[in-house]
């Protein structure tokens, strides 16, 4: 083990150089223009897996972006771990707020700045390097290893679940290890055991058949923007609860034990608010900030548009108004059920004067992962050894929909060994990744393989 660990410590510079090349590829999954870049990124991952010494490396084309699969299965009688990650990244806009171009990585204060640095290229690359360190230094792995790296996570993984269902045997494993979440604090080893799910809809409100002069018609016809704003304002009550019948019906309440363990974590609501420059936090009454983010469902308007939004003024009553609304769900809420509930609720709230259409964008199931599984314990111990601190267990508010698919289709528990930080601007301008955590991650992953084989 010592040999592997010192090899990793000595190769940090090479790892950062390689990550830089990976980050130069603008693999934005939602953008039609970047279709070829998705192929380039998949090929980059496949090449690095081959160089690492994985015996089987495949690129599977899909109706969307390719899936990279690899395996090394020469440890008979040992468990199999499947590493999952995503090489696709979010769009870069507003690009003018970046201090350096998003696909020209820059290192400053031991952090690497680029789109995808923390979510998820930097994090997934960790495991390719740990496997490489083992194979180059020892010639074999202590457990069996599979890799499943997709290019559509940020658009709801439309082609991954069908791939998993069609390849259950190929993907068979004892556990899944994912680095696509966050550390609770810098330098603090963290395992995430709960993620929220998602239900995402778009609303279209149509009033008059064309835009109208707001003086000639104003006051006499329904204004779709006014109506939409009114509908949205009715979705929460004054206590911050979501005002949809049966919305909370399947929610597993927080246990006393969980609430206590959240309270033990060092967290300042004041600093949290200060960092975001908001005068006051708000949310569902009766819950702390961590409880609200990690273990309670929420509803947020993610975008709203309609009418005249250009510079200056135009006096107009628009024909149409739109909003995108997402709900973060917690175990055991079912996104399909919730989407139906909100759809009916919005149609019920709509006045007869307008036409309202609610369409479904995408969804995902919430997850709670087992705390006592062999792989979870091995990962916690590995992080502890690498970081030199005790591992904390947390839940998080984000979503990785495929985790539920691993549980239901492969019957495999996932371990969420994230190395990002929520302050690293994932999905925002100036995304970055702490290189210290990149290196500690490679060490953690290498130690994990050893611990998991015991």
Q: Is 152 in the site for ligand BES (CB under 6 A)?
A: no
CB 378 within 8 A of CB 205: no
The distance of closest approach from Cβ of residue 337 to Mn ion in the complex, given in angstroms and rounded to an integer, is 25
The residue (of 72 and 294) whose beta carbon lies closer to Mn ion is 294
Q: In terms of CB distance, is 157 or 288 closer to ligand BES? A: 157
Which residue number, 17 or 300, has a Cβ lying nearer to ligand BES?
300
Contacted entry of ligand BES, Mn ion, none for residue 401, CB cut-off 5 to 8 Å set by kind: ligand BES
- Rounded CA-CA distance 127/130 in Å is 5
Give CA angle at 37 (31, 39), nearest 5°: 115
Q: Cβ closer to Mn ion: 116 or 142?
A: 116
Which one among 71, 88, 120, 451 touches Mn ion, defined by CB under 5 A?
120
- Of 181 and 439, the one with the shorter C-beta distance to ligand BES is 181
**Closer residue to Mn ion (CB): 396 or 450:** 396
Look at residues 85, 90, 50, 99 and name the one whose alpha carbon lies nearest to residue 70. 50
Q: What does the per-residue mask of binding to ligand BES show for 346-375, with x meaning CB under 6 A?
A: ----------------x-x-----------
Query: Whole-angstrom Cα distance, residue 446 to residue 437?
Result: 14
Q: How far apart are the first and last CA of the chain?
A: 13
153 touches ligand BES (CB under 6 A): yes
Pairing assessment for the beta strands 144-150 and 80-86 based on DSSP bridges: parallel
Q: What's the min distance (Å) between Cβ of 342 and Mn ion?
A: 23
Residue 125 near residue 22, CB atoms below 8 Å: yes
- Name which of 232, 215, 391, 422 is nearest 327 in CA terms: 232
Kindly state whether residue 451 participates in binding Mn ion, applying the rule CB under 5 A.
no
Instruction: Write down the least CB distance from residue 416 to Mn ion, Å.
Output: 11
Verify binding: residue 180, ligand BES, rule CB under 6 A. yes
Q: Which residues contact 114 (CB under 8 A, 6 or more apart)?
A: 20, 23, 24, 102, 103, 104, 105, 106, 431, 432
Q: Which of 71, 119, 174, 431 binds ligand BES (CB under 6 A)?
A: 119
Task: By CB under 6 A, name the binding residues for ligand BES.
Answer: 119-120, 153-154, 156, 180-182, 195, 198, 362, 364, 396, 398-401
């Amino acid at each position: 083990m010592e040999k592997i660990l010192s090899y990793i410590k000595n190769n940090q510079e090479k790892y950062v150089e390689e990550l830089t090349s990976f980050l130069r590829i603008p693999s934005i999954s939602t953008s039609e223009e970047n279709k070829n870049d998705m192929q380039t990124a998949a090929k980059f991952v496949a090449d690095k897996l081959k160089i690492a010494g994985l015996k089987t490396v495949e690129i599977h084309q899909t109706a969307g972006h390719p899936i990279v699969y690899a395996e090394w299965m020469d440890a008979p009688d040992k468990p199999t771990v499947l590493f999952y990650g995503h090489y696709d990244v979010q769009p870069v806009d507003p690009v003018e707020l970046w201090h350096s171009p998003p696909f020209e990585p820059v290192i400053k204060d031991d952090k690497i700045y680029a789109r995808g640095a923390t979510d998820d290229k930097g994090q997934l690359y960790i495991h390719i390097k740990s496997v490489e360190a083992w194979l180059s230094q020892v010639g074999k792995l202590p457990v069996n290893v599979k890799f499943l790296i997709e290019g559509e996570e940020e658009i709801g993984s439309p082609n991954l679940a069908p791939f998993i269902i069609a390849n259950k045997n190929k993907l068979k494993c004892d556990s899944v290890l994912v680095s696509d979440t966050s550390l609770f604090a810098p330098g603090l080893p963290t395992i995430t055991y709960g993620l929220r799910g998602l239900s995402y809809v778009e609303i279209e409100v149509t009033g008059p058949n064309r835009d109208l002069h707001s003086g000639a018609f104003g006051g006499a016809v329904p204004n779709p923007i006014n109506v939409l704003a009114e509908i949205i304002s009715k979705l929460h009550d004054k206590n911050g609860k979501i005002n949809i019948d049966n919305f909370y019906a399947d929610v597993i309440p927080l246990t006393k034990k969980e609430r206590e363990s959240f309270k033990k974590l060092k967290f300042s609501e004041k600093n949290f608010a200060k960092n975001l420059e908001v005068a006051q936090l708000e949310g569902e009454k009766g819950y702390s900030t961590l409880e609200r983010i990690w273990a309670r469902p929420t509803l947020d308007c993610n975008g709203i548009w309609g009418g005249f939004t250009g510079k200056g003024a135009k006096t107009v009553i628009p024909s149409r108004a739109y909003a995108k609304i997402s709900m973060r769900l917690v175990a055991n809420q079912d996104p399909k059920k919730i989407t139906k509930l909100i759809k009916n609720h919005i149609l019920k709230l709509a006045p007869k004067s307008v036409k309202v259409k609610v369409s479904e964008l995408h969804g995902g199931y919430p997850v709670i992962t087992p705390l006592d599984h062999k792989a979870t314990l091995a990962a916690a111990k590995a992080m502890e050894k690498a970081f030199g601190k005790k591992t904390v267990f947390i839940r998080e508010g984000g979503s990785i929909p495929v985790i539920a698919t691993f549980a239901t289709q492969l019957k495999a528990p996932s371990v969420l060994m994230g190395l990002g930080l929520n302050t690293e601007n994932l999905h925002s301008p100036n995304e970055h990744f702490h290189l210290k955590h990149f290196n500690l991650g490679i060490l953690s992953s290498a130690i994990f393989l050893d611990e998991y084989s015991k």
